[in-house]
Amino acid sequence: MSPVVKQKKEKFTLSGKYLLLIFSIICILLMVFTYGTSAFDKPLNIAVGYVVVPFETGISRLGSWLSNRSDEFTDVKDLLAENEELKKEIARLTEENSILAQDKYELNELRILFELSDQYNDYNKVGAHIIAKDSGNWFSAFIIDKGTDDGLAEDMNVIAGGGLVGRISAVGPNWARVTTVISDGNYVSAMMLSTNDTLIVEGSLELMDNGIIAFSQLKDKENVVVEGDKVVTSKISDKYLPNILIGYIQYVSADSNNLTKSGYITPAVDFSNLSEVLVITDMKNVDYK
Amino acid sequence: MLRKVLMVIAAFLLFLLQSCVFPHMSLGGIVPNLILIITSIFGFMHGEKAGMITGFCLGLLFDIFYGDYIGLHALILTYIGFANGKFFGIYYPEDIKLPIGLTITSNFSYGILCYIFSFLIRGRLNLGYYLLHVILPELIYTLIISIVIYPLVLIVYKAFERHENKKKKEA
């Protein structure tokens, strides 16, 4: 036997240090590339869409079935009390509704007079289930079970319960990631419904626990913004459609420069108990055409 | 070969558990870090290469789904898998102190690294808040879950070894 033959039989192994170096280089290159471009996103999103998402859909269906079963055991007393309250609420709402119906009739008349189309009232929406939540504790995002196959695209707005949830920040064939407005480092250009003054709504991890979001740069020259005022997405935002309710002013104070104000907003959406959301398939740039 | 397939399935299962099931069981909005547990376990039970590969793959999955850009969590978890693999030589299944110590250290360094790379660089300086409200609760919850998961992994391994021995005897 010659030594050459022996060498051939030796198995090729890579020492741990070199493997670490290779992985580090791959990671750093990926970071640099994906930070600047989104060229990798599409193939990767499609790949995980076929490998991971089917399992996630299955598990979350099982999970929601189980949590529904456990909900059925809630105390009957609680339900009765809630029923009583809801009946009162219905009575109040019916009254309010009749007034609103009158107002709407008047509004339509006025709109015809002003030749305004009510383009913001009928967005096309697609319902979606939440199948997974951000598995870390640092940011607030979740995965829904619809993607490009259902006509979704990046930057589409997501709402639930009449309020803004966030926007789609990544999308695959059968899944999409929704980054919420309460997520740290997420900014939304907003305005006061009453005065049309613009402000910036800013998600923060520190405030997330208290269920509130911060806002800043509110120019309120007439000093009319008070607690409880409605905050909606602004007309000048390039990613959010206008006039979607974000929340209500909870606290407002003047900044030290005496020009702008900042404070906190109570979001209109209960982010801790979301299970279904609506995706608005109309996009901002389409509205301008 | 079968062992490797089992390891892949286990890691994948824990990733799914973490993103689909544990959010329903969050305590104060905090979810335990299962992908870190499995990276750490494979690291000290099979050596640095297994730890690194597990960390890299799970980190990459995490980044694709939840990261703004891809590679950060993959990089952090790769290094954590590698560091845990360094303890492969002094690991004994009977001793629970080492796995617990490693889980705590890994999770703490993971938390600090996440804070530095995704919060500190954006000028969020309030380390105390993040330490008390995210890093430490996650550490405690993860520790409790790892005390449950680690013996389970051991039981599976023992059953697997018995099965393999049987096969060897039959052969």
What CATH number is associated with residue B158?
1.10.1760.20
Q: What is the mean pLDDT of residues A63-91?
A: 80
Q: Angle at which helices B48-66 and B34-46 pack, to 10 degrees? A: 160
Q: Taking 80 as the threshold, does the pLDDT of residue A238 lie above it?
A: yes
Q: What is the mean pLDDT of residues A69-93?
A: 82
A248 phi-psi bin (left φ>0, alpha ψ -120 to 50, beta other) = beta
Residue A184: per-residue pLDDT: 85
Residue B168: per-residue pLDDT: 82
Q: What is the mean pLDDT of residues A240-267?
A: 89
- Interface residue B22 vs chain A (CB under 8 A): yes
End-to-end, the C-alpha distance of chain A in Å comes to 79
The alpha carbon of A36 is separated from its chain's Cα centroid by a whole number of angstroms, namely 23
Residues in chain A with CB shorter than 8 Å from the CB of B124 are 184, 205
Residue A195 near residue A222, CB atoms below 8 Å: yes
What does the alpha-carbon distance between residue A90 and residue A85 come to, in Å, rounded to a whole number? 9
Q: Do A177 and B66 touch (CB under 8 A)?
A: yes
Mean pLDDT over each residue of chain A, to the nearest integer: 82
Q: Which of A190, A153, A143, A189 is nearest to A283 (CA)?
A: A153
**A115 pLDDT band (50/70/90 cuts)?**
low
In B82-141, the residues whose Cβ lies within 8 Å of chain A are 82, 85, 114-115, 118-119, 122, 124, 126, 129-130, 133-134, 137-138
Q: Taking 80 as the threshold, does the pLDDT of residue A53 lie above it?
A: yes
**In chain B, how many domains are there?**
1
Query: Nearest residue of B to residue A60 by CA position?
Result: B20
Q: Which of A216, A283, A287, A285 is nearest to A255 (CA)?
A: A216
B15, B16, B19, best to mutate vs chain A, most A CBs in 10 Å: B19
Q: Which of A164, A163, A190 is nearest to A179 (CA)?
A: A164
Which residue range is the domain that position B131 belongs to? Answer: 2-170
Q: What is the mean pLDDT of residues A131-152?
A: 85
Low-confidence ranges of chain B (pLDDT < 70): none
The pLDDT tens digits for A27-43 are 999 888 888 777 777 88
Q: Do A169 and B68 touch (CB under 8 A)?
A: yes
Sign of CA dihedral A84, A86, A90, A92: positive
What does the alpha-carbon distance between residue A141 and residue A178 come to, in Å, rounded to a whole number? 6
Q: Which of A59, A147, A46 is nearest to B16 (CA)?
A: A59
Residue B115: per-residue pLDDT: 92
Residues 6+ apart with CB under 8 A from A13: none
Q: Do B35 and A135 touch (CB under 8 A)?
A: yes
In chain A, what are the domain boundaries?
A: 124-283
Q: Do A48 and B133 touch (CB under 8 A)?
A: no
End-to-end, the C-alpha distance of chain B in Å comes to 18
Q: Do A138 and B134 touch (CB under 8 A)?
A: yes
Percent of chain A whose pLDDT exceeds 90? 16
| Among A40, A67, A143, beta carbon nearest to B65 | A143
Residue B138: per-residue pLDDT: 92
Q: Do A134 and B24 touch (CB under 8 A)?
A: no
Residue B113: per-residue pLDDT: 93
Phi, psi of B121 (to 5 degrees): -70, -15
Residue A289: per-residue pLDDT: 42
The pLDDT tens digits for B100-125 are 999 999 999 999 999 998 889 888 88
CATH number attached to the domain at A124-283: 2.40.10.340
Q: What is the mean pLDDT of residues A176-184?
A: 90
What does the alpha-carbon distance between residue A281 and residue B94 come to, in Å, rounded to a whole number? 57
